[in-house]
Each structure stands twice: as C-alpha cells, then as structure tokens.
C-alpha cells in the first residue's frame, strides 16, 4: 500500500462530496493488500494514451491515423498471403475473417468516425479509435440479430490493430499511470498482465476470471495483489477513485474511509513482517524433519521475474512458460531473439537447471503474434493448443527448440512439452529436436546436444497412460492446473464455476498418484509445477505421494520451504495413503487441514 494513496484520498475528499465507501467481494487470487488510485480499462479496449491536440495539429494527426490504416491494410494482406499456405478449411475461415477486417478499414463507420473525432473533439488518434469503438459497440449491443451483434468482434480486432500500429513507437500499456495504480477492468487477460510493471501497478481487480487461470498465476508470480470474479464491479469504479484490493480475503473497497485504510495498512505491515522473516530461509535447504530432501524450483513467465526467483532461493527454473515471449507483439520472436532471452535466464541461474516449456498458447493464453496460426475455436481448451499447434507449425517449433539448445551452451537446460497425450506426439517432437541439433551442428553453432526432453502430465489421458509415455521421454512434470480442469471438466478461468474447481477431488489425487508411481517404476525424474506445489496446505500430501521436486511462483517458495522443514516425510506418506482411501473431496480437505494443524 502506498502512503501517497492516503494523500490522494485526502485531496479528493476536499474536491467534491465524498462518495460512500463500498465493498465488493470476489476471489482473492494473489495475496497482498494494495490501496491506490483506480485506472479503469473498458472491456475490449486496449490501454492507450489520451491527450488533446491543438487546432493546427489536426491535419497531421489525421495523416498519422491514415498511415496506421495503410499499415494495417498491408499487414492484413500479408496475413492473407500466409493463409494461402494453410490447409484449405483453415485458409477458408481465415480468408473470411481477414476480408471482414479489411472492410472495417476502408471508409467504414470506424474510420470515418475516428477522423471526425480527431477533427471535432481534437483528441489524439488512439483515443479517437477507443471512443469510436465504444460508440459502435453500444449500437451493436442493442441489435436483435445475433449475427450482426457478433460483428463487433471484427470491429474490435480492426481497432486493436490500429491502436497497436499507432502506438508502435514503444508505447507501453499502463506506463503512464501513477505508481501504485490499481487496474480495474471487466476482464484482464494473461497478455494484459504481462504488461503490468509492479513499479507502476499496485494490484488489480476484474469482474471475470478464476483463481487458476493464467491471469491469476501471473499476478501471483509478479506478487501483485489481485481479486478476480468481482460481482457487481461494472460501472462501480471511476478512474481516479481510491480503491483497496485485498488479495488475501478477496475484497475490493471503493472510496475507503480513513479507518478502513488504517486497518488494511496494519494488515499489510503484518504480511510484510512475515515475508521478511521467511526471507531468512533463503540459504536453508528444504529438508524434512526425518531427512527427506526436496528440491524447490520456480515457475516464471517473463524474463524480469528471474530476479524474484533468485531472491526466493530457487534451485532452478522448473517451468519457464515461454508463451509470454510471443504476446503483445505483431510477429513471433525470431530464433535469435528467443536465444538472447533464454541465455539471460540461463546465465542468471548460474549453473542451476532451466526447464523451458515449448509454446503453450491456446485456451486462455492468446498471442496475436500467432494470429494467423490460430483460428477461433468453439472449445479453445480442447482445440489447437500447446504441442498440437507446435507440431502443426514446424518452423515455429524448430526455431524455439534451436533457441533452447543454443541457450543450453551456457548452462543446463531441459525441454518440456505441454499437453502431450500420446507417444506419437513425443516422437514427433523428438524428431524436430534431432533435426534441429543436426542443423546447428552442421553450422558449428555451440549447443547443448543432449537436453532432457520431458512432458507435462496434465490431461487425464496422459496420467492414465503415464507408464506408456514414460518409455518415450526423459522426465515428467505434473501440471495439476490443467489436470484438475480436464478431469473435472471445469474451466479453470471461469469465475462462475470456480467453486467447483477442486484439486482435492479423489479423481485428481488418484491421477497424480498413478503418474508419480509410473515415473518411479520407470526410474524417471518427476516434478510437480502446477499451483498445488506453491500452496503449503498441500505440501505434506505431495511429499506423501513421493514427490521430491516442486516448482512454484517465486513468492510462494519460502512458505513451502518452511512447511517442509516442519514435516515428517514418513508421516506424510501415511497421510497421503489415508487421503487416497477417501471418496469425497470435502472429507479429504478436512483431513488435509487436520494434518496441517497437527504437524
Ligand atoms: C498446469 O497446467 O498445471 C501448468 C503448470 O501449466 P499451465 O498453468 O501453464 O497451463
Ligand atoms: Mg497446463
């Protein structure tokens, strides 16, 4: 919490009649408390700079806008050319989509409206695009015809491209907000979260989103207090209002009274004290009371999280979610660019292993740099996600593998493949690895010639076939986030069913146990990198299943270590057996919490 927040609150109090304090509840997805001025982002609108322009600058601003239109049109022509190389059924859909986007850019209501707004309202082109899009969206929302109402997505797409082209001069979303700002939106995507600099953004809250979606995971990794699935949020906050986000209890307070701010401040200080105490464990090895040594690694998404992993005392990067390198940009990163990013992380880990997962876009993680490869899907979580996309786009996969192999010349790396469900998929990825090794060796590029090739076990199919998959790969990484989602058929990012998402369901626990046992029988290393790993509530259970390698968001590592230091691994094993005998998740939860109290 920023003390300046209180000052802002005071200043505002003198301005206008004070608006009453209001409380909202949601899912506290990332612990911590933050108070600051709200920055409200409208749904479907990218965060853009807004400013007024002088009368004599109008023509230049319109010319700048037209340049962005021309650039957008030529980008779409480029995408159309690329689409022709795709299989006909995909190319057909894409052609249709891109034609619609072209229409939006030629003399349309969007383009005409933006020019009129620059001229009449004298606002900058980016802001004019946003305002015009809002107006069109409102008009569409009132339409009875579902087909026409659905066309708003095309307008949004075209507007997004225009804004990106207008702001391509290095504009960083949220960069203009005052430090400690709380971002408020209907929806915050993982790609939006990747743009949040914790030096500026103090926390966020959104109406949509579940605790296990990637937006929540990013918030935890960045240590940003966050509340998602906030009911009644729409229209309740104005930019500049003071808001308090309580990521521990899942609360949002709008226009908090001084007494409320003081109460939250006390709780925030207590949390900080606890963090400082835990930081003392940094150099201590994670060994249970009876001598079981556990390796604790970190999950990171963005290169700038490396410092957090180092501070937490990570023994390696157990999961690098490489998809974030592909987000918020027009073209996917080149092999060289990926190499440089990975090399920095490998160098930073100074000899500790770095596990780089190949691209896992699809489902809730979308990257418009890959737009031409991904067509909208009715069931994106069951669609062209992760390894399925990689195998369909060999050039992307091979560039990524090459970057990992090259980074491997600087320190130990491992390749990890997401969403594997069959031995065949592993064989195809291995072929791509072998081919890339041959290419780089011929070119005398220094590489790691034998990186371990592991797979995520994150679908029920993979868990149940773990013994078969074990024969084809070098290690397993248990992805309990997706494993829970696919086993229970619960969307991990949907606040409406968030209460049903339960990794303690007997089916999920049996699958974890089954896959762990299969790895042990095959003498295959196995780790767990789902969110279960970072919650000390589950540490005894996981040790009890025989797991000795856990990877988690950096802020969670010290708490999990503290828990391990207090545990007895043999007692944990008996506890895990007892859990597996149960038939109800509620009973399992009681036993889990009871064991925690008693040890
Ligand atoms: C998982 O599914 O548990 C996992 C670690 O991968 P992600 O959260 O990136 O899907
Ligand atoms: Mg996953």
Q: Which residues are catalytic?
A: 214, 529
Q: pTM value?
A: 0.79
Instruction: Give me the CATH code for the 4-46+173-267 domain, please.
Output: 3.50.30.10
Superfamily of domain 290-598: Phosphoenolpyruvate-binding domains (3.20.20.60)
Ligand 1 centroid distance, CA of 479 (Å): 5
CATH of 55-169 among 1.10.274.10, 3.10.20.90, 1.10.3480.10, 3.40.50.2000: 1.10.274.10
Q: Report the largest interatomic distance among the alpha carbons of the chain, rounded to a whole angstrom.
A: 78
Identify the H or E element spanning 202: strand 201-206
pLDDT at 59: 94
pLDDT in tens, 425-452: 999 999 999 999 999 999 999 999 899 9
Cβ atoms of residues 78 and 94 within 8 Å: no
Number of CB atoms found within 10 A of residue 152's CB: 18
Q: What is the pLDDT, as a whole number, of residue 11?
A: 40
The pLDDT value recorded for residue 395 is 95
**The ligand 1 atom nearest the CA atom of 481:** 3
Residue nearest to atom 8 of ligand 1 (CA): 481
- Cα of first residue to Cα of last residue in the chain, in angstroms, is 34
For the chain, where do the domains classified as CATH 1.10.274.10 start and end?
55-169
What pLDDT was estimated at residue 40?
87
**Which residues sit opposite 52 in a β-bridge?**
123
State whether residue 206 is helix, strand or coil.
strand
Give the residue ranges of the chain where pLDDT is below 50. 1-15, 169-172
Q: What percent of the chain lies above the pLDDT cut of 90? A: 64
Between the CA of 286 and the centroid of ligand 2 the distance, in Å, is 26
Residue 275: how many other CB atoms lie within 10 Å: 15
Give the H/E segment covering residue 58.
helix 58-83
CA 142 – CA 590 distance, rounded (Å): 49
SS3 state at 522? coil
Is 381 strand, coil or helix? helix
Residue (of 154, 153, 162) closest to 127 by Cα position: 162
**What are the start and end residues of each CATH 3.20.20.60 domain in the chain?**
290-598
Distance CA 365, CA 385 (A): 9
Is the CB of 385 within 6 Å of ligand 1? no
* Closest-lying ligand 1 atom to the alpha carbon of residue 321: 9
pLDDT at residue 144, rounded to an integer: 67
């Amino acid at each position: 919490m920023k003390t300046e927040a209180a000052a802002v609150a005071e200043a505002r109090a003198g301005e206008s009649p004070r608006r009453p304090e209001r409380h909202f509840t949601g899912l506290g997805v990332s612990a911590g408390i933050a108070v600051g001025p709200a920055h409200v982002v409208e749904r479907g609108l990218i965060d853009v700079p807004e400013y007024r322009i002088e009368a004599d600058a109008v023509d230049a601003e319109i010319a700048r806008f037209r340049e962005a239109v021309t650039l957008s049109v030529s980008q779409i022509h480029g995408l159309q050319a690329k689409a022709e190389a795709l299989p006909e059924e995909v190319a057909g859909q894409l052609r249709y989509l891109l034609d619609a986007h072209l229409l939006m850019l030629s003399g349309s209501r969007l383009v005409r409206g933006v020019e009129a707004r620059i001229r009449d309202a004298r606002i900058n082109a980016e802001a004019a695009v946003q305002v015009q899009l809002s107006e069109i969206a409102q008009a569409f929302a009132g339409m009875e015809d579902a087909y026409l109402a659905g066309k708003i997505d095309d307008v949004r797409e075209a507007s997004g491209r225009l804004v990106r082209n207008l702001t391509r001069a290095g504009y960083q979303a949220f960069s203009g907000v005052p430090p400690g700002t709380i971002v408020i939106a209907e929806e915050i995507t993982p790609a939006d979260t990747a743009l949040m600099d914790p030096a500026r953004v103090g926390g966020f809250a959104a109406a949509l989103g579940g605790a296990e979606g990637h937006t929540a995971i990013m918030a935890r990794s960045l240590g940003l207090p966050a509340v998602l699935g906030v009911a009644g949020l729409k229209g309740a906050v104005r930019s500049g209002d003071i808001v308090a986000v309580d990521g521990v209890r899942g609360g949002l307070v709008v226009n908090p009274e001084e007494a409320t701010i003081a109460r939250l401040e006390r709780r925030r200080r207590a949390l900080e004290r606890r963090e400082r105490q835990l930081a003392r464990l940094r150099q201590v090895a994670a060994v249970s009371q009876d001598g079981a040594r556990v390796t604790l690694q970190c999950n990171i998404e963005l290169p700038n999280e490396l410092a957090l992993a180092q501070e937490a005392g990570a023994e390696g990067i157990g999961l690098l979610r490489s998809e974030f390198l592909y987000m918020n940009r027009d073209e996917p990163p080149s092999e060289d660019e990926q190499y440089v990013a990975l090399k920095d992380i490998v160098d930073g880990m100074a000899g500790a292993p770095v596990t780089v997962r190949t691209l896992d876009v699809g489902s809730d993680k979308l990257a418009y740099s890959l737009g031409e490869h991904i067509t909208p899907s009715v069931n994106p979580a069951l669609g062209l996600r992760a390894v399925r996309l990689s195998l369909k786009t060999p050039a992307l996969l091979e560039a990524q593998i090459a970057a990992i192999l090259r980074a491997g010349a600087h320190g130990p790396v491992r390749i990890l493949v997401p969403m594997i469900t069959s031995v065949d998929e592993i064989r195809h990825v291995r072929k791509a690895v072998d081919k890339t090794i041959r290419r780089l060796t011929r070119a005398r590029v220094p590489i790691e010639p034998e990186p371990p090739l592991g797979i995520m076990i994150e679908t029920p199919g993979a868990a149940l076939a773990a013994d078969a998959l074990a024969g084809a790969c070098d290690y397993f990484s248990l992805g309990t986030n997706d494993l829970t989602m696919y086993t229970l058929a619960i969307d991990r990012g949907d606040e409406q069913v968030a209460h049903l998402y339960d990794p303690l369901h007997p089916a999920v626990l049996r699958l974890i146990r089954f896959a762990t046992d299969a790895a042990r029988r095959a003498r295959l290393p196995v780790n767990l990198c789902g969110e279960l790993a970072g919650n000390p509530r589950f540490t005894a259970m996981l040790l009890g299943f025989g797991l000795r390698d856990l990877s988690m968001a950096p802020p969670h590592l010290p708490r999990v270590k503290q828990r391990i230091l207090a545990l007895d691994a043999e007692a944990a094993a008996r506890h895990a057996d007892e859990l597996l005998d149960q038939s109800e998740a509620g009973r399992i939860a009681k036993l889990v919490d009871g064991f925690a109290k008693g040890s």
